[in-house]
Amino acid sequence: MLSAAAMLAAMIIAAPAAAATVLVIGDSLSDAYNMPREAGWAHLLSERLGEDRRVINASISGETTAGGLSRLAGLLADFEPDVLLIILGGNDGLRALAPRQIEQNLAALIEKGKGSGARVGLMQIRMPPNLGPAYVSRFEAIYPRLAEAHGVTLLPFFLDDLFDQPGMMMQDGIHPTIEAQPLMLERLWPALEPLLVE
């Protein structure tokens, strides 16, 4: 008969391992643009997860996929995350960077994350229609294709359904307000939660 200590140890081994460290690499949508960082969705995620887990928000306003890629190796070495959330591509798209280059950069980000042992979530990014339907279609198709090819979680774009709601977007029409931040987290949470306890 197993002792109580042995049974407890077996239960711990069998239970899903909760992510101790979550690394977010993104742009102004995750950098709490024009507001205190404590008001941003990433900080709200940290509060939700509690003191036993860390959320490292390595997002920088204006960041591109190339910029994120240049920083990622150092971030992985410094923080050894269990989960990596990649929320990049918006600035590339707004600059009309070639979709092929964006896809290559995102693929490299995913591969580096997986190579470090982290579970990876890739957020679908949307583009405004004024960039033209052909470009928008090519750009937005990158994300589900990469998620399937690399076997990573495709996270929903956390601003879907918020663009047209009063008070959710700043006057520039691009950045979410303080009021939008909790709603962004709620939209993300159903897809994110399983990634945190795999």
Residue 64's domain is classified under what CATH number?
3.40.50.1110
Give residue 198's pLDDT: 62
Q: How far is Cα 53 from Cα 85, in angstroms, rounded to an integer?
A: 15
Residue 111 belongs to a domain: yes
Active site residue ranges:
28, 172, 175
* Residue 192 region by backbone torsions, left for phi larger than 0, else alpha for psi between -120 and 50, else beta: alpha
Single-letter code of the amino acid located at 130: N
Q: Which of 13-22, 42-51, 82-91, 143-152 comes out lowest in average pLDDT?
A: 13-22
Residue 198 belongs to a domain: no
Model pTM score: 0.89
Parent domain of 95:
19-193
Residues forming beta bridges with residue 23, ordered by sequence position: 56, 84
For 30-53, the pLDDT digits (tens) are 999 999 999 999 999 999 999 889
Structure tokens at 5: 């200590």
| pLDDT reading at 65 higher than 60 | yes
Q: Which of 1-15, 63-77, 86-100, 161-175 comes out lowest in average pLDDT?
A: 1-15
Give me the number of domains the chain comprises: 1
pLDDT band with cut points at 50, 70 and 90 for residue 161: confident
Question: What is the rounded average pLDDT of the residues 111-121?
Answer: 98
Give residue 14's pLDDT: 37
Question: What is the rounded average pLDDT of the residues 72-76?
Answer: 98
Give residue 6's pLDDT: 42
Residue 69 belongs to a domain: yes
Residue 4 belongs to a domain: no
Residue 3 belongs to a domain: no
Sequence-ordered alpha helix ranges (H) in the chain? 4-14, 41-49, 65-79, 90-94, 99-115, 133-150, 181-197
pLDDT band with cut points at 50, 70 and 90 for residue 15: very low
Q: Which residues contact 149 (CB under 8 A, 6 or more apart)?
A: 107
| pLDDT reading at 12 higher than 50 | no
Look up tokens 């887990």; give the residue.
53
Q: If you average pLDDT over every residue of the chain, what do you get?
A: 91
Residue 12 belongs to a domain: no
Residue 108 belongs to a domain: yes
For 123-147, the pLDDT digits (tens) are 999 998 889 999 999 999 999 999 9
| pLDDT reading at 75 higher than 90 | yes
Residue 2 belongs to a domain: no
Single-letter code of the amino acid located at 19: A
Question: What is the rounded average pLDDT of the residues 8-36?
Answer: 74
Q: How far is Cα 135 from Cα 137, in angstroms, rounded to an integer?
A: 5
